[in-house]
Structures are given as structure tokens and as C-alpha cells.
Amino acid sequence: MRTLSSTPHSANPVARERDGRRRRRTITLTVLSMLVILLVAASLMLGNTFYPPGDVTRVLLGQDVPGASFTVGRLRLPRVALAVIAGVCFGLGGVTFQTMLRNPLASPDIIGISSGASAAAVVGIVFWGLSGTLLSVFAIVVALGVALTIYLLSFRRGVHGTRLILIGIGIAAMLESVTSYALSKAPQWELQEAMRWITGSINGTRWSGVVPVAVALAVFGPILLAQARNLSQLQLGEETAAALGVRVERTRLLLVTAAVGLIAFATSAAGPVAFVAFLSGPIAARIVRHGSLLIPAALVGSVLVLAGDLIGQLAFDTRYPVGVVTGALGAPYLLYLIIRTNRTGRSL
């Protein structure tokens, strides 16, 4: 007579289901990674001048290729690197807020954090003549300050997701008014630079703009990944998470700091690329379904920025910044998500 302990692993329905989920997750992450690689290759090859894969590979290996060394190595490669890194930052930051607050509307670009960086940058450009590193630092500091303000205003015996979202939306509206006022006072020659901080763009990216974002990802990214389990438990509710041993306020403050750091640095380099932080988490949730959404959302963020930039550069007679394309995709989804959330009350 066969005992329970001798039952083959494959005959255990729970084990089979767990293995199936693991395989599906691995396949999904592999497909997303391959899609990022394909989009990177396309972004390096395509443009006003097409460079074949062989020339691009030689440039990446450090060889001198007439024409390609400048166009691919100095113009396209920093742009693509920022697209990948900023996409990861937006994806990680957005899904952290959405999961922690159990609401897909709780994205940094909805609740005012990205608006804080944008308003700071536009004011700095128009009224104080800031530029370069100083402008980026100012935008980062203001974004962190806005996040702290939203957190403190929404704190009342803990942070309630709906209260934080409503306060964030109100602050975002005020910040957008500040941005509009600053733009109305801007000289014509400063409007183009200021507009980058409204829609989001990776045009004209240089390595000096990529490095700070990469450093921020190297610092804050591991913090979020290390807190993945606590983040999943926070999704069950504060009381349940506390019963499972999570130090709720400490964990939440750590998650908010790391997520805002990623969003602020990415915004300081690429501007508030519209709806990437908002879309990455829900898309990842639909295609992964089980397990932590951090890595899937990071990959989805990179796919959105890379694909949006390619579409903006190649699909129309006029070249559009990446934020215009992602905004056109994200706005209808925002309306759909609001309607679906109101009807079902579901979260990610």
C-alpha cells in the first residue's frame, strides 16, 4: 500500500500547480527580457541611417566604424541605455506604490511625485536659469519633498491608500498649476527645454545624464528587491502583515524612500515619461499573475520606454518625444482602469 510520503512529486496537485506557476513565470520573464534585447537592437540600428547588426556589434566591442562609431556609439547608445534604465526605475517605483497601497491608481505619476519634479524643473529653468546637474538635483530634492508631504498629510494612525491617493491628486493639480504659470512666463528660447520636463523625452541624451540614474538604480533597486516579500505581505493589509512579523511603518517608509528615489532620478534625466510608472504594474500583473511583480514590472517599463521612443521616432512624419507616445497609450487605459476599479473594487 502506497503511503502519502511515497507519492511521486508529479502526482501531488499542489506541487504540480506550483511548478506550473514557476515555469510560466520563467517563460514570461524570458520573453520580456528577449523583447527588451530586440528593442535595444532595433533602436541602435534604426534611424535616419540604418546600420547593420555587424556594424553595431563592432561599435559595441570598441572598434572604430566610420559613421557608426559616432551615430551609434555617441548618439544612440546613451539614449537607449537611458531608455532601459529609466524604464526599470519607473516600473519598479510605480509597482511598489501600487502594490503597497493596494490600488493601481497609486502611481507616482498620478499622485503628484512626478509632477513635483516637473514643476521644480520648469520653475528652475524659467525663473532661476538653472541647468544641467544643478537643475536635476533641484528636481530630485523637490520630488522627495513632495513625497514626504503627501505621506505626512495622509498619515493618521497609519497611511490609508485612498486618503494618500486623494491628497496626492490634489497636490498634483496644484503643482501642474505652478508649471502652467511658469510656462506662461517663459521666454520662447526656454520653452523647448521646459517642455521636456512636462512630457518626458530622451532626445539628446549623453552619458553624463545616464550615470546618475544608473547609480540610483544600483542603490535603490536592491532595497526594493530585498523587501519583495514584505511588500507582498503589505498587500494583504496592515494588520495581517503585522501579524506575519512585518514592521509595517518601517517597511513602508523604506519602500517609499527607495521608490521615490528611483522615480526622482529617472525623472531628472528623462522627464516624467507619461504613464510608464502607472502602466507597468497592471500590465505585469496581467501577464505574470503570480509572485512578486517587481522584476516583471521593471522589464515592462523598459519595453514601454523603448517601444514608445521607437514609435515616436519612426512611425510618423514628425518625431515625437517618448512621453507623447506613452501618454497617448496611457490615458485611455487610465479611464478604463478607473471604471473597472469603481465597478469591481479590485486592485492589482
DSSP 31-46: HHHHHHHHHHHHHHH-
C-alpha pair distances (Å), 216 with each of 140, 276, 292, 304: 11, 18, 21, 20
Which of 52-61, 102-111, 153-162 is predicted most confidently?
A: 52-61
Q: Please identify which residue in the block is written with the cell numbers 511588500.
A: 231
Contact assessment for residue 99 and residue 293, using Cβ atoms and an 8 Å cutoff: yes
Q: Lowest-confidence range among 6-10, 112-116, 210-214?
A: 6-10
When pLDDT is cut at 50, 70 and 90, the band that residue 297 belongs to is very high
Q: Is the pLDDT of residue 54 over 50?
A: yes
Query: CA–CA separation, 86 vs 324, rounded Å?
Result: 16
When pLDDT is cut at 50, 70 and 90, the band that residue 331 belongs to is confident
Q: Is the pLDDT of residue 343 over 70?
A: no
**Which amino acid is present at 326?**
T
pLDDT of res. 11: 55
pLDDT of res. 345: 53
pLDDT, mean over the chain:
85
Query: CA–CA separation, 347 vs 282, rounded Å?
Result: 9
pLDDT of res. 4: 47
Q: Residue 163, SS3?
A: helix
pTM above 0.85, yes or no: yes
Higher pLDDT, 236 or 309: 309
C-alpha 87, offset from chain centre: 5
Query: CA–CA separation, 328 vs 311, rounded Å?
Result: 12
Q: Is the pLDDT of residue 36 over 60?
A: yes
Q: Is the pLDDT of residue 160 over 90?
A: no
Q: Per-residue pLDDT averaged across 245-250, rounded?
A: 81
